[in-house]
Copies of this chain bind each other. A is one copy, B any other.
Amino acid sequence: MGRNKYPEETVAKILDAALELFCAQGYEGTSIQDIVDRLDGMTKGAVYHHFKSKEEIFNAAFDRAMAPIVEHRRSMLGVGNMTGAQKLKRLYAPESVVPQIELWARMRPAADPVKSSRLLAMQYQGSFDESADGCLLPVIEEGIADGSIACECPREAAEAVSLLANLWLLPLFRPLEPKERMLARAQCLVQMAAAVGLDLGNEVLQTTAQIWDVWDRAGW
């Protein structure tokens, strides 16, 4: 194949193939050759021209997939006519979470923590980032400032809620539990969060139910 006039198309193709494979087979279970084989006609040279390592492909693929979701969550922060408490509920309302879940469902990560260990590590790391630099902690602090939230340990509460939401309520790396169990988890999280001053709202239950439906439809 000769030189492409629009190399960003090639990059997109590489990232699409990589994302699917990384999710289905894990990072270590996916070889560069696997990716190349999905790019009909293309060779390893092309891949290593656009990316300098497998690691970089991995990160780029997920950053690209997550970008619109991160953007959507961030967009709420600037809004002026909402209290912190209202924004907090919004963060875990269906319209904020379900699009992310639909993306994950399409990517079909392996329901085995060890196979998906790298993805799991990213979600773990991301839970802390989300609390610190992302949306959750800023929203909580906004709520404390405007008097709509009373929380003595905002940072810790944010981390705990974020961890549980990402690694426990999202059925990413483990077999899908029965719907009632997932709802029980959500109810449990709501109670626990309330104990440290965070009212996540009962929409979390609806969110969880919708997540379950998406996951179930996707054939888990």
Interface residues of A (CB under 8 A from B): 28, 113-114, 116-118, 120-122, 124-125, 128, 153, 155-157, 159-160, 163-164, 167-168, 173-174, 181, 184-185, 187-189, 191-196
Instruction: Provide the residues of chain B in CB contact with A185, threshold 8 Å.
Output: 156, 159-160
Give A124 to B125 CA distance when docked, in angstroms. Answer: 13
Instruction: Provide the residues of chain B in CB contact with A193, threshold 8 Å.
Output: 192
Give A100 to B125 CA distance when docked, in angstroms. Answer: 23
Given contact pairs A121-B121, A163-B167, a sample of 9 additional A-B residue pairs in the complex whose CB atoms are under 8 Å apart: A113-B121, A113-B122, A120-B124, A153-B188, A156-B184, A156-B188, A167-B167, A192-B193, A195-B195
Q: Is the CB of B168 within 8 A of A160?
A: yes
**A189 nearest CB across to chain B (Å):** 7
Chain B CB count within 10 A is highest, among A120, A163, A167, A187, for A120
Instruction: Provide the residues of chain B in CB contact with A181, threshold 8 Å.
Output: 155-156
**A83 nearest CB across to chain B (Å):** 23
Instruction: Provide the residues of chain B in CB contact with A163, threshold 8 Å.
Output: 163-164, 167-168
**A88 nearest CB across to chain B (Å):** 16
Decide: A124 near B128, CB < 8 A? Known: A160-B189, A195-B195, A196-B192: no
Partner of A114, one of B118, B153, B188, B189: B118
Instruction: Provide the residues of chain B in CB contact with A164, threshold 8 Å.
Output: 160, 163-164
Instruction: Provide the residues of chain B in CB contact with A122, threshold 8 Å.
Output: 113-114
Give A155 to B156 CA distance when docked, in angstroms. Answer: 23
Query: Which residue of B has the minimal Cβ distance to A185?
Result: B156
Instruction: Provide the residues of chain B in CB contact with A118, threshold 8 Å.
Output: 114, 117
Query: Which residue of B has the minimal Cβ distance to A114?
Result: B121
Between A and B, 12 residue pairs with Cβ closer than 8 Å are A114-B125, A120-B120, A121-B173, A124-B167, A128-B174, A155-B181, A156-B181, A156-B188, A157-B188, A159-B185, A163-B167, A188-B196
Instruction: Provide the residues of chain B in CB contact with A128, threshold 8 Å.
Output: 174
**A106 nearest CB across to chain B (Å):** 23
Instruction: Provide the residues of chain B in CB contact with A159, threshold 8 Å.
Output: 168, 185
